[in-house]
Chain A
Amino acid sequence: MNRVIALEVRSRDRRKPIRLVSSIALYTAVGLFVLLTLAPVLWLLLSSISSTNDLTNIPLRWLPNTWDFSRFTRLLDPNGQGREFVAALKNSLIVAVGATIISLLVAIPAAYSFSRFRGAQSQLLFVVLGTYMMPPVALVLPLYSILASVGLLNNVWGLLLVYCTILSPFTTWLLKTNFDTIPLEIEESAQLDGLSRWGVLYRITVPLALPGLSTAAVWALLLAWDEFFYALIFTSNINTKTIPVAIADFAAGRAVDYGLICAAGALAALPPVLIGFALQRGLMSGLTSGSVKG
């Protein structure tokens, strides 16, 4: 008995330095990750508050002479330049969030179908995926005439619909791989209790797949937030232009204020970061409920 305790104590002593080393390594790696992710963004933020003269100094000036936050206030001032920017933020939010929600609603049953039913229809997943391989340049003209003929050109709903065609194939596939990991037994017992397939899907499968769902949602949202080419061609005024198009407008013309673009980029990144952060908290709580399987 005493020997056993002594052994344990010794082994604990031996592991202490190893733990210290591994935790130093861990924090170093985390630090490196944070640095590599944030350094370019930090430079972006510094650029957004520097004057052109500070930015074109040789040798390079690491911190600007004067900190100039006017670009941010200009972008958020609804009476000036901000009118376009704030409207674009709003349009982007409608289009990206709308397309994400619709895509998920469509993808959940489809993913379940692909995951649970074998048959001819299961091959369709790859057909649907294949549609995304086509370069947008090739699709933009026929889509343009379709949207024009149904009156959805220069309309956020038209753009939202186009984005659904991009987002739903991938969210479907991602959710399918998620559903695949959920053990069938839980569903089968529920079915025996008299639940229909739809009932099983929404009462059992979806709650278990919440982490996967929130990842799919973040992914879809980011894809839609960043889309540029379709938005450029299909929108034409302040009522419909999305963030990437509005920023491209700032970059247009011959006197480009890089600081303004940097400020606009930083502001444009905020909504998805906040939404992503919120969804990640959902992911965490989903995780605990997801621990049923094993």
Chain B
Amino acid sequence: MLLMYNACWQCILGSGSSKGLMLSLKDIVPAALNNIDTKFILLEKGRATLEGQNKTCLALVADETAAIHFQFWGDECDAFEPSDIIHLANGIFSYHRNNLILRAGKRGKVEKVGEFTMAFVETPNMSEIRWIPDPNNSKKYIQEAVISPHSRIFPPMP
């Protein structure tokens, strides 16, 4: 067990499946990898819609550093309520039907780990940033511009 933790500390942004390696939302970058391990609080859920056979639900989630759009899938849609603190393991942040969203995907997992006791900010919103491929490393994305400081889908409460 100890060995596993040590190994993980060394691969800091690697396949973070171990606890204690939470990524801050502000450090999340779009990629085609299921490797995001993070914790956030659910601020607002949109209406559930059908994507083919499956129910999906777009939501605004946030931590102390940033907000982001999260997509719940299937029975996740009804399992979570605003103010739930959620741990995402092996999640993915990528373009999905033209939206830049964070989700568990097939290999990831979301779990409720608490409630209420998490501070958050609603800006920046990582889903409201325009990303371009890094000129020095075409496999990576870098921020090009802020499209909107806040979520345009879930505007901040007045």
A binds B: no
